[in-house]
Amino acid sequence: MKLNYRGMTIYVEKDYAAMSRAAAELLVQTVKENSATVLGLATGSTPIGMYQEVVKAYQRGEVDFARTLSYNLDEYYPINHDNDQSYHYFMRENLFRHINILPENTHVPSGEAKDVERSAAEYDEKIYAIGGVDLQVLGIGNNGHIGFNEPAAIFAKGTGLVDLTESTISANSRFFASIDDVPKKAVSMGIATIMQAKRIMLLASGQGKAGIVAQTILGEITPQVPASALQLHRNVTFFLDEAAAAELLAKLGK
């Protein structure tokens, strides 16, 4: 099902696999139209299926990433880039090493920088210098975070060091040996960095996301729900599975 709500495009797919295929189609199509596309990429469990579909399309010879650039949303801080919980590692394992994107064309905020604020500011400068992100992939946290922009009193602007909330630390502890091993900080693109992308796609799956998805699309635009800022973007597409869309569809009477 395809919906349009106040300028936002919303695809509701049967399940996670169908949602992943639909999202991959948009990413692949974008790179096919312009092989020098600048992708903004996300980690987390949600986009893994989409990345697998992208890899399959590459293996079928449908798409070429030789001129593609990528900028990831975020990285834990501090973390060693070889740590298997780092987002550098995640991106290598789930996407980069399976396609022909050049390692020097991939960028992930540094979890190792000594001067983290400076390295974060330089990250934004690089993105702006190349003309910005063409297609930004997002997941969404249970609390409405995008990147690691947690609910706050104001929208964060540029890339910077952020404190993770207890809810995010606890949600992400499923990937670590113990909750004490989860880093308490991260470097994340800011809301302004995310909003400068020419096109944004947000993926959400499962009933755990149903409430926050409805709030993001229908609710008040507030930094307490960072993803609600997307209502102000002029080219945003949501890829939801039926479980994640349930509350939205109920509220819309669909």
Kind of pairing between the strands at 199-204 and 135-138 = parallel
Verify binding: residue 146, ligand F6R, rule CB under 6 A: yes
Q: Catalytic annotation on 115?
A: no
Phi and psi, residue 146, nearest 5° = -125, 140
107 catalytic? Reply is no
Which one-letter amino acid corresponds to residue 247? E
Query: Of residues 40, 49, 109, 147, which one binds ligand F6R by CB under 6 A?
Result: 147
229 lines the binding site for ligand F6R (CB under 6 A): no
Q: Is residue 32 a contact partner of residue 62, using CB atoms and an 8 Å limit?
A: yes
Question: If binding is defined by CB under 6 A, does position 207 make contact with ligand F6R?
Answer: no
Dihedral over Cα of 244, 250, 252, 253: its sign? positive
74 is catalytic: yes
For β-strands 106-107 and 69-72, DSSP reports them as parallel
Query: What's the burial of 14, exposed, middle or buried (CB within 10 Å: 0-12/13-18/19+)?
Result: exposed
Work out whether 162 is an interface residue with ligand F6R (CB under 6 A). no
The interface region with ligand F6R, picked from 27-35, 37-45, 92-100, 230-238 by CB under 6 A, is: 37-45
Q: Of 6, 7, 70, 8, give the one whose Cα is nearest residue 239.
A: 8
For helices 48-59 and 87-94, the axis angle rounded to 10 degrees is 40
Using CB under 6 A as the binding rule, the residues of this chain from 122 to 141 that contact ligand F6R are 139-141
Of the residues 27, 30, 53, 74, which one makes contact with ligand F6R according to CB under 6 A:
74
Yes or no: say if 181 and 79 are a contact pair by the CB < 8 Å rule. no
User: Exactly one of 145, 241, 242, 247 is catalytic; which is it?
Assistant: 145
Shortest Cβ 142–ligand F6R spacing (Å):
7
Q: Which of 46, 119, 136, 159 binds ligand F6R (CB under 6 A)?
A: 46
Q: Does 42 bind ligand F6R (CB under 6 A)?
A: yes
Among 20, 30, 37, 43, binds ligand F6R (CB under 6 A): 43
Q: Decide if 31 contacts 68 (C-beta within 8 A).
A: yes
Is 233 among the residues known to form the active site?
A: no
In the complex, residue closest to ligand F6R by CB: 139
The catalytic residue positions are 74, 143, 145, 150
Instruction: List residues near ligand F6R by CB under 6 A.
Output: 42-46, 73-74, 139-141, 145-148
